[in-house]
Amino acid sequence: MSGLQIDKLSMRFDLPNGSSVQALENVSIDLKAGELLSVLGPSGCGKTTLLNIVAGFLAPTSGEINLNGNLVQGPGAERGMVFQQGALFEWMSVRENVGFGPRMKGMAEKPKREIVDHLLDVVGLQEFKEKAVYELSGGMQQRVALARCLANEPDVILMDEPLGALDALTREKMQGLVLKLWKETGKTIILITHSVEEALLLGERLIVMAPRPGRIHKEYNLPFAEMGVGQDLREVKKHPQFSEVREEILGMIWDMEEEIMGGTNK
């Protein structure tokens, strides 16, 4: 059985003051190998918790996750993660950062160098490979993070708002890069984002989550990711269906946010 099965996942945090927060309730997602799923939702809907459970950093209160038929217990190299920012190792050069995974596996120097060189070509950082990562711009650092994740040949790539801290122009370029990498490598990707546009552009499937308790609110199957491969993303945004879905989702999230605000005011 291939793909990623998230089965009836629930997560409850018990707070020190005796109360508890239901971060996730009965979340089930069935992801086929090679699918790109984007997850949207207002803050506090449990997106990051979901990703942390899939990555194995958190154990769910109930439910389970299977990857290619194996139960997920704890972090592992088959599930790579790209963080928002600041997860690169600043004591290593760009090349060493990208080669970190293979090095942990004990790979020999030569094949490791080939993998690193190839990935630095893919993300366009060949000439920066000896630089320290803190000398790079934010966009370049995220390219390094992508390459570092890919170097490990994971089955699933988990992205936790990887483009969230970038400026608008860099972000658009990086969205194109993510799409290109997805198509070229055929990896299964879960992408968490705050941006509705980004979720629409990149997600083959899209899940909108609702808060309190965190649950799946609505699911979409979208054509834009396929359209966007090898095409200008701004053209995709002009598509009439694009703005229609965008408005629908924005309205949905607005309503949820308003509900949260109303709830706290009362």
Partner 1 sequence: MSLLAELWSELYDVLGTLVGAAPYVAGYIALILLCGFIYSSIRKFLTPKADYGSLKTVTFGDESSVSSNTVASVVSVVLIFVLWAAFTGSKLLPSFMHMPGAFEGESSFTYTVEANGQTDDATVAVTVFPTGSEVDAPAIEPGDGFALNDAIALPIFRTELLRVDKNDTLGRDEGAQIVEVDGKPILPGGEVSVDFGKVAMTPKGTLNIKPSTGWQMEPIWLPAPESVWSRLKEIRYDGYRNSTLAEHLGFSLFRVVIGFILGAMIGIPLGYAMGLSNWFRGWFDPIVEFMRPVPPLALIPLVIIWAGIGEVGKIILLFLAALWIMAIAARSGVSGVRISKVHAAYSLGASKWQVMRHVIIPNSLPEIFTGARVAMGVCWGTVVAAELVAAEKGAGMMIMVASKFQSTDIVLMGIILIGIIGFAIDMLMRWAERLLVPWKGKG
Distance CA 130, CA 126 (A): 9
Taking the complex as a whole, the smallest distance from the CB of residue 184 to partner 1 amounts, in Å, to 21
Taking the complex as a whole, the smallest distance from the CB of residue 111 to partner 1 amounts, in Å, to 16
Question: Given candidates 47, 79, 112, 143, which one binds partner 1 under the rule CB under 8 A?
Answer: 79
Residue 31: CB atoms within 10 A of its CB come to 19
Contact between 201 and 233 under an 8 Å Cβ cutoff? The reply is yes
Contact between 203 and 35 under an 8 Å Cβ cutoff? The reply is no
Taking the complex as a whole, the smallest distance from the CB of residue 165 to partner 1 amounts, in Å, to 12
* Binding track over 86-115 against partner 1, x by CB under 8 A: xxxxxx--------xx--xx----------
Taking the complex as a whole, the smallest distance from the CB of residue 57 to partner 1 amounts, in Å, to 6
The answer to the question of residue 42 lying near partner 1 (CB under 8 A) is no
- Which pair of tokens denotes residue 166? 């970038």
The answer to the question of residue 138 lying near partner 1 (CB under 8 A) is no
Question: Given candidates 83, 131, 195, 257, which one binds partner 1 under the rule CB under 8 A?
Answer: 83
The one-letter amino acid at 206: L
* Binding track over 172-211 against partner 1, x by CB under 8 A: ----------------------------------------
Taking the complex as a whole, the smallest distance from the CB of residue 78 to partner 1 amounts, in Å, to 9
Taking the complex as a whole, the smallest distance from the CB of residue 219 to partner 1 amounts, in Å, to 26
The answer to the question of residue 229 lying near partner 1 (CB under 8 A) is no
The answer to the question of residue 77 lying near partner 1 (CB under 8 A) is yes
Taking Cα atoms as reference points, which of 143, 138, 189, 145 lies closest to residue 165? 138
- Which pair of tokens denotes residue 68? 């290619």
3-class secondary structure, 217: strand
The answer to the question of residue 8 lying near partner 1 (CB under 8 A) is no
Taking the complex as a whole, the smallest distance from the CB of residue 127 to partner 1 amounts, in Å, to 20
179: Cβ–Cβ under 8 A, 6 or more apart, which residues? 201, 202, 225, 228, 229, 233
Query: With CB under 8 A, what is the number of residues at the site for partner 1?
Result: 27
Taking the complex as a whole, the smallest distance from the CB of residue 75 to partner 1 amounts, in Å, to 4
Question: Given candidates 19, 69, 110, 134, which one binds partner 1 under the rule CB under 8 A?
Answer: 134
Q: Which is nearer to partner 1, 5 or 152 (CB)?
A: 152
Taking Cα atoms as reference points, which of 182, 163, 175 lies closest to residue 200? 175
- Dihedral through CA 85, CA 86, CA 87, CA 92, nearest 10? 130
Exposed, middle or buried by CB within 10 Å (0-12, 13-18, 19+), for 179?
buried
Phi, psi of 35 (to 5 degrees): -85, 150
Taking Cα atoms as reference points, which of 242, 149, 156 lies closest to residue 199? 242
Question: Given candidates 143, 148, 187, 205, which one binds partner 1 under the rule CB under 8 A?
Answer: 148
Distance CA 55, CA 91 (A): 24
- Residues lying near partner 1 in the complex (CB under 8 A) are found at 55-57, 75-77, 79-81, 83-84, 86-91, 100-101, 104-105, 132, 134, 148-149, 152, 158
